[in-house]
Amino acid sequence: MHPLHSLANLLLGRTPLGLWPVRVRGGVAAGARWTLYPWTSYWRGTHEPALQAALCALSGGDIRGWACWDLGAHFGLYSIGLARRVGPTGQVAAFEPNPVSFARLERHRRMNHLTWLKPYAAAVSAQSGTAEIYTYGNLATTTTHLPYEGETRSVDVGALAVRTLRLDDLVARGELRTPDFIKVDVEGHAHRALAGARHALAAKRPVLIVAFHSEAEVRGALGLLAPLGYDWRKIATDSGSLDGMIGHDFLFFPKPCAS
């Protein structure tokens, strides 16, 4: 890396300059207040353009009043964008177990005065309780995750205890409405997260966008959604993955009910 780039990264990452307020230039959260650094592609509007276009096209572009869940919210780009689009008659719930990412998510929520956006410092899973998230490197990455199927912690992996929540429990307690839309990007754990939302899925048959990272995740998610009458299509991405499903985002939508 060029020395000037290294110096800029140091200044932005380790001083308050990284929190300088900016506006999101385009995409699902266009116009929202944001922070300068890191992940500048978020506010520049260049992050995952195909996925952002799919979100902007939900229900013909009008999702006012919808209830949306963002599983794996990171800094809240999609949570913020969805909350601005559903408006105060809607509800958005954002789930992020990484404490570094969650702190920035909450900052962005406050900056945009989105009282109908509910942030949860937790992972979603099939059961409520506690678990460990693994991190390869540090908590500033986007790849911290609950263990993959069969993954064991090696000496070079850091681990952090986090809370897990079962989504159906939150609905049953009246904390959340049944969702009209769910975005899932939880690094190999989508099938467990959706297993904890079986009742909500069956009751509302929401639209979903799911990012797949493992074979077990694909099999589990399809096993849950296919019996509920879902079709799906791939969202074009530039992930570079040659696999048919792993490394890609998919839009899941309910088939019309037979009359």
Domain CATH number, residue 178 = 3.40.50.150
Contacts of 189 (CB under 8 A, 6+ apart): 123, 124, 125, 145, 146, 217
Residue 5 has pLDDT above 60, yes or no: no
CA–centroid distance for 31 within its chain: 20
Mean pLDDT of 220-245: 86
CA–CA distances in Å: residue 39 to residues 16, 77, 194? 15, 10, 28
User: Which segments of 185-236 are extended strands (E)?
Assistant: 207-211, 230-235
Task: Tell me the whole-structure pTM to 2 decimals.
Answer: 0.93
Residue 42 lies inside a defined structural domain of this protein: no
How open is the CA angle 13-14-19, to the nearest 5 degrees? Answer: 60
Residue 3 lies inside a defined structural domain of this protein: no
Domain that holds residue 108: 48-254
How does residue 93 score in pLDDT terms, banded at 50, 70 and 90? Answer: very high
Amino acid at 77: L
CA distance linking residue 8 with residue 73, whole number of Å: 26
Residue 176 β-bridge partners: none
Residue 14 lies inside a defined structural domain of this protein: no
Residue 4 lies inside a defined structural domain of this protein: no
Structural tokens at position 247: 């490394």
Q: What is the pLDDT of residues 225-236, one digit of tens each?
A: 999 999 999 997
Mean pLDDT of 105-112: 98
Residue 168 has pLDDT above 60, yes or no: yes
User: Whose CA is closest to 138, among 108, 98, 104, 102?
Assistant: 98
Least confident interval from 42-46, 58-62, 124-128, 131-135:
131-135
Contacts for 230-237: CB closer than 8 Å, 24+ residues apart: 230/205, 230/254, 230/255, 231/255, 235/50, 235/51, 235/54, 235/209, 236/50, 237/48, 237/50, 237/51
Instruction: Please compute Rg for the chain using Cα positions.
Output: 18
- How confident is the prediction for the chain on average, in pLDDT? 91
* Residue 129: per-residue pLDDT: 98
Contact indicator for 41, 30 with CB cutoff of 8 Å: no
Mean pLDDT of 39-68: 97
Domain count, the chain: 1
The residue written with tokens 């009751």 in the block is 203
Cα torsion at 162, 193, 67, 119 (round to 10°)? Answer: 10
Residue 14 has pLDDT above 80, yes or no: no
- In the chain the first and final C-alpha atoms are separated, in Å, by 61
Mean pLDDT of 185-212: 97
CA distance linking residue 104 with residue 153, whole number of Å: 27
